[in-house]
Amino acid sequence: MQRGFTLIELIVTIVILGVLSVGTFISLEHLYLRSAKSKALSELAYESQMIVDQIASLMYDRIPSSAIGYNPTTPLFQSIYQVDTNFTILEWIGVASEAHKMGAYSGFVDMNASDGATKRLSSVGISALALNTMMTNKFGSGSLANMGLVFAGSFDDGAIYYSNEFNTTFGWHGNSASKILTFTIPMDGNITISAVKPNEIYEKYYLVDSAYAVARGGNINKLATCITDLNTTISDNTFFLFYAYHPWQGETFCADSGVGGNSAGKVTILSKNVGGFEAGVIDGTLYFTVSMNKVIRGSDNNVSISKQKAVY
């Protein structure tokens, strides 16, 4: 005759199994959260590195001193080298670097062969056809008429950073653009300045093809057509790159919630997880910081990471 389990023994066994099950569940949950956080950190590190590298690459080919901090709420802007008020958006003007690398223009003027009276600049190798082609390839549309010319010597002494002239230098947010000249390229392959002849002409020049802006969703007009046309969920943490607009022609980026300038250009999303963005200057070097975060399901804390980069 075999002896069976007593009720007490069964209860004790069930309790022990229950405790073991709860412990196993908690251990598995912690393991899952650690794995999810590790994966999220890895993804954020990769994504944030891509963002700062892309912005740095675009800013490397910028017009010296053109970077500004902009607050559309005020609305005010200042040179990034002199910012003393809060701003939420970073903007700058980009050089037509691809066209220069492809040999569509040299960036130098032959002073002896130029004619100041007719505003004709001799620049060997410049091609209207090549510049128009590069504009179309880069932005999907556009032409030589959207480009501007800036003499490099205008910024050599750095005085423009600190002068009242800065506000009317590049055309930011409805202001005039005294340093960016319109031009044409006649059949003879030279440059003819369309605007009033500048007081000073230098041997080196830049051709500019676009302004750029980076901003979080919380600081722009999320109801702008260019944003709604993206057909995706937009939040305050969505991080945008605006491009293909021309302040020297009275334009501002397409989702500008401030006043001044006609909305224009294109936009792309860099990330949907940027909780903070900061830019500034330390010892003459421009830097920016991107802070990203991601919610882990089942966790009370978000995973966060910050990436900083200097731009020379």
Cα angle 105, 106, 110 (rounded to 5 degrees) comes to: 120
The residue count of the chain comes to 312
* Amino acid 210: pLDDT: 96
Q: Which two tokens stand for residue 142?
A: 């556009």
Q: Is the dihedral of CA 197, 199, 204, 208 positive or negative?
A: negative
* Amino acid 95: pLDDT: 94
Global pTM?
A: 0.86
* Amino acid 194: pLDDT: 85
* Amino acid 37: pLDDT: 78
The dihedral formed by the CA atoms of 267, 273, 279 and 283, expressed in degrees to the nearest 10 = -130
117 phi and psi, to 5 degrees? -65, -40
* Amino acid 8: pLDDT: 72
* Amino acid 9: pLDDT: 65
Q: Which two tokens stand for residue 5?
A: 């389990």
Low-confidence ranges of the chain (pLDDT < 70): 1-5, 7, 9-10, 17, 19-33, 85, 154-164, 187-188, 297-301
Gap between the Cα atoms of 204 and 123, Å rounded: 10
* Amino acid 301: pLDDT: 67
